[in-house]
Structure 1
Amino acid sequence: MTAHEEDSFEKMNESLVDVFNNVMWIEEASLRKSRFKDISIKDMHTIAAITMYDTRTASQLSQTMHLTPSAMTSVIDKLEKKGYVVRTRDSKDRRVVRIGLTHKGRTVFRAHEAFHRGMAHSLFDSLEEGEAPVVEKAVGDLQDYLHELIQF
């Protein structure tokens, strides 16, 4: 790596760390200041994993969230008690319990989604013509790398 490439790499590394830390801090601070201050960022990401109008089983959520089934059950119990999620029996197989969002859960889901879409718009709107495919590829490659790390 040339000195210029090394310098570029270090700047990119610092920027990625800064972006990650700021996103996490802003998400947590936004929750604390909102009417949804009774949930944590982990709770918020669980709500996001359920999605707006779909349902998930606890097992599906535990895989998505990389939590043990018992830890996921605790998160779901807490969210249900606070009115963000509801458990329902599957109409085709009554043994299966599905988790869905309540009106309150969908409201916080929309707020969280708006935050993320705002970040994407900020990045996208700053791009020059022709840069979008390059950035899209770089973000996709980073996403692939992170997915590989999750597979451990």
Structure 2
Amino acid sequence: MDIRRTVINDLLVQLFSDVLQIEEYALKNGVLSDLSITEVHTIEAIGMYNERTMSEVAQRLKITVGTLTTAISKLIKKEYVERKRTEEDRRVVLVKLTKKGKLAFRLHEKFHEDMVNTSIDGLSEMEEKMLISSLNKINNFFKEKYELK
């Protein structure tokens, strides 16, 4: 591998690792210290404004409904999520964020907003377009290579 490709590889590996570590650090040292990264991503998958079925959330997270049920139960105990069955079909379970869950959603969203703003600060419009194009290529590679949706 030539030196440029080695540098790109090292940067990508470090970047993926750093983003996860920074997210974990921000959680553990912030107001959301009782949440794991997985729980925050579950909150994110539920979304701010709508009730979602367990199946919809599981599909967004690419996990089984059974795995999601365990995660939702923990989030209910921590008062981030509410769960209820529909009147039309008692088998359908809906989840939505509580006020505390919406706060967690907003704080996580702000974390990502700050991360993106810092990443593009000082870039020209052309450089932003090149960054977007490069990130799209990387994203598409992973989706195609590992059959992700």
TM-score band, normalised by shorter chain: 0.7 to 0.9
Structure 2: runs of 5+ lacking an equivalent? none
The offset of 1:145, in angstroms, is 2.4
Higher mean C-alpha displacement, 64-73 vs 87-96: 87-96
The count of residues paired between Structure 1 and Structure 2 equals 148
- Find the aligned partners of 1:108 and 1:129 in 2 and give their Cα distance: 32
Q: Tell me which of 7, 25, 32 is aligned to 2:28.
A: 32
> Are 2:139 and 1:151 aligned?
no
Is 1:86 aligned to residue 92 of structure 2? no
The Cα of 1:102 is off from its aligned counterpart by: 0.7
| Alpha-carbon distance change, 56 to 120 in structure 1, aligned in 2, over 3 angstroms | same
Instruction: Provide the residue aligned with 1:137 in structure 2.
Output: 133
Counterpart Cα distance in 2 of 1:44 and 1:19:
20
Question: Partner amino acid for 1:102?
Answer: T
Q: CA deviation at 1:93?
A: 5.1
**CA shift for structure 1 position 126:** 2.9
TM-score, structure 2 as length reference: 0.88
1:15 partnered with 2:35:
no
1:53 aligns with 2:53: no
Deviation at 1:54, TM superposition (A): 2.2
Paired-residue identity, %: 37
Q: CA deviation at 1:94?
A: 5.3
Matching residue of 1:123 = 119
Range with greater deviation from structure 2 (38-47 or 52-61): 52-61
> CA 1:129/1:34 → structure 2, altered by over 3 Å: closer, same or farther?
closer
Give 2:69's aligned residue: 73
Residue identity in the other structure for 1:61 = V
Cα deviation code 1:69-97 (max 9, x no counterpart): 21110001110111001113447655422
One-letter identity of the residue aligned with 1:28: E
Q: Aligned-residue CA RMSD in angstroms? A: 2.0
Partner AA of 1:76 in structure 2:
I
